[in-house]
Amino acid sequence: MATLSIVDARAIHKHFGALHVLKGVDLKVAERELVFVIGPSGSGKSTLLRCLNRLEEPSSGSIVVDGIDMLDPRTDINHARQRIGMVFQSFNLYPHMTALGNVTLALRKVAGKSRAEADRLGHAALERVGLADRAEHTPGQLSGGQQQRVAIARSIALEPRVMLFDEPTSALDPELVGSVLEVMRSLRESGMTMIVVSHEMGFARNAADRVVFMDDGLIVEQGAPAEIFEHPAHDRTRAFIGQIQRH
């Protein structure tokens, strides 16, 4: 069945000097789909994610997101990026601004909202991540989990069509992981299309529509979570999942 893909990346190659990090990756993601990307470190999964919003420039290939050709030099990349939210492993909040300031900066300077309108939308976004009462706190006054939720609010405030998560819980203390996954779950329930690079296998099992296993710059196999976790077709997948689950 030909469901419309909101993300359609084809034959993506990426070289870093002599290093061939992505060796021809195709990834299609349907609207409202949650795709989990797993794989050993150095497999290229983060690079793939960063190519999708062109934080990394792919060496070749094509990427269409929400009908926009991301690699066309005529594409207004700053405009296109508003539709693609991204959450980083290290949060990357702006430490000199309050939580609300972090969330409203792009609303004001990119989306062109007035300060009052941006503040209203910013408060609403913070409320969605359960931090309505932390609007005036600076990142330094927040826990890691709270900082990551502010980062999520910063992205969803722009009402993106797709959200990219690059190991969103890897830098968090174990007891703080749950609050971030909770927010991701509620995003999922609201129908957000999500591509998640993460090792949170429990979350993948419960929430993902599809799990993609990458190794050595290629997608080795993909399928429903139960299928990939219980009956992987490839040895490499089996070995990787075995390693992860031993922890």
Partner 1 sequence: MIQTFFNFDIIVASWPIVMAGLLNTVLLSLIVVPLGLFGGLLLALLASIRHPLVRWPLMAWVDFFRAFPPLVLLILLFAGLPFAGLDLGGFACVAIAFFLNTGAYYGEIFRAGIESIPAGQVEAARSTGLGRLQALGYIVLPQAVRNVMPDLLSNTLEVVKLTSLGSVVAVPELLYQARQAQSLTYNPTPIVVAAIIYFLMLWPLVRLLSRLENRALAGRR
- Strands in the chain per DSSP E: 5-16, 19-30, 34-38, 60-65, 68-69, 84-87, 162-166, 193-197, 210-215, 218-223
Q: Which is nearer to partner 1, 135 or 158 (CB)?
A: 158
How many CB atoms are located within 10 Å of the residue 232 CB? 20
Q: How far is the CB of 220 from partner 1 (least distance, A)?
A: 28
Half-sphere exposure of 23 (CA within 13 A, CB side): 12
Tell me the site size for partner 1, rule CB under 8 A: 26
Under the criterion CB under 8 A, does residue 88 sit at the interface with partner 1? Answer: yes
Q: How far is the CB of 3 from partner 1 (least distance, A)?
A: 26
The binder of partner 1 chosen from 59, 75, 82, 143 (CB under 8 A): 82
The binder of partner 1 chosen from 86, 100, 121, 192 (CB under 8 A): 86
Q: How far is the CB of 165 from partner 1 (least distance, A)?
A: 12
The binder of partner 1 chosen from 21, 63, 65, 84 (CB under 8 A): 84
Q: Which is nearer to partner 1, 14 or 81 (CB)?
A: 81
Binding to partner 1, residues 218-247 (CB under 8 A): none
Site track for partner 1 across 136-175, x = CB under 8 A: ---------------x--xx--x-----------------
Q: Are 49 and 197 within 8 A, CB to CB?
A: yes
The pair of structure tokens assigned to 109 is 């300077």
Report in angstroms the alpha-carbon separations of 3 from 28, 29, 81, 222, 240.
10, 9, 23, 17, 31
In order, the DSSP letters of 99-133 are: HHHHHHHHHHHTS---HHHHHHHHHHHHHHTT-GG
Binding site for partner 1 (CB under 8 A): 53, 55, 78-82, 84-86, 88, 90, 92-96, 105-106, 109-111, 151, 154-155, 158
